[in-house]
Amino acid sequence: MSIYGENASISGSLIVTGSATFNDQSKDVDFAVESDNQTHMLFVDAGNDRVGVATNSPQATFHIKPSSGDTSVIFEGVQDVSLGLVADTDNSGGEDQNPSFYMSQETSTAGAYQVLMGLEGTANLSYTGSYTNQPFILSLNSETHKSLRTFQIATADGSDVSSRFSIATGGRIAIGDAVQAADARLHIKEAAGDIFKMENTTAYAVTYGQLVKEDLTLTDGGSPLDTTLDLPARSMISDVLITIKTPAVGDVHSLENVALTIGGTTFNIKGSSYPSLSLVNNPSQGVAAGTQYVLGNTDQSFPAGRATMLNSSTGDIKLVYSDTNISTEPIVDVVVFYKKFDAS
């Protein structure tokens, strides 16, 4: 026993020049250090072998829980700084004892985590389809309430700070700037132009892209009308989608073809055997605002590209149509889907 008895009160500073041991008899006696605003700025829960910061009821081996204000932990050093999580150090717990790190917005209990990162031990332990002894990231509302949780990766590109990669409803993957929903298993959303590229490690990649022209008025007598869209060099048109925004009113207004002009030479996308497509309002025939036509690439000559030489120059994409006695000119959206091939 101390010469001060069971309790000692010291006013002022306490200076210890040698080693010091508190509770050297291993009794269930807690240890606390106060600060200006916290009665338990440092607290040792002797009975449960836990340490608390700003709490006298730590729920883990080390628990920080201020009653107000932000909480932060900083590890700072003049050389490398690392944080290590090592589990099953005696190698006796099997594959189900593994390191993990979780983040939650509502509670500190492990069962309510919302994002879990760790190493999987036994396959399918934390989630279906997991690999044995491999790292993982799991986005989950809780272990018992498995409502939708998405996962995103965001980056800063100059002043643009947006999500670039998202896993959303149904496990669908969305790639693009600030894309938060996916309509297919893989949904890539990009401004008009090159969107998706496949490349062999040796040579000759192919890039898939699309060009969009909205609210194009097909002026009376203006055929062939330049859409202002340019097909990239070494490309072929796959399909052209025409959406009627405002149908024509009059006797005849028919879309005859989509043409590509390169160096003064014009090529048509569809063969002459295909019928023209009416743009005159006629709901009984299915022609109205919202009607869509798709023109597949059927010609044997460029830009059909089924058997053709790729051009090294860009091409002007034009609409070829006929019109007679038109009082209301049609307005359409034009989407051109293309494939572009590498030169080497």
Instruction: Give residue limits of the domains in the chain.
Output: 1-67, 94-139, 208-341
CA distance 306 to 238: 10
Q: How many residues does the chain have?
A: 344
- The CATH number for 208-341, chosen from 2.60.120, 2.60.40, 3.30.70, 1.20.1740, is 2.60.120
State the sign of the Cα–Cα–Cα–Cα dihedral 262, 265, 271, 272. positive
At 62, the amino acid letter reads F
For 25, the token pair is: 């008899």
CA distance 216 to 209: 20
Q: What is the pLDDT along the chain (344 residues), one digit of tens a residue?
A: 556 666 777 777 888 888 888 888 888 989 999 898 888 999 999 999 999 999 999 999 999 998 888 899 999 999 999 999 998 888 887 777 888 888 887 766 656 667 889 998 888 888 888 888 899 988 877 666 566 678 888 999 888 888 899 888 888 898 988 887 888 888 888 887 888 888 877 778 889 999 999 999 999 999 999 999 999 999 888 889 999 999 999 999 999 888 888 888 888 877 665 678 999 999 999 999 999 998 876 655 544 445 667 888 898 999 999 999 999 999 999 999 999 988 77
CA distances 76 to 12, 51, 82, 83, 300, Å, are: 31, 21, 9, 11, 68
Prediction pTM value? 0.70
- CB-based contact 235:340 (threshold 8 Å): yes
For 245, the token pair is: 């925004």
Contacts (Cβ under 8 Å, ≥6 apart) of 286: none
Q: Mark out the alpha helices in 111-188 (DSSP H runs).
A: none
Provide the 3-class DSSP secondary structure of residue 305: coil
CA distance 124 to 129: 5
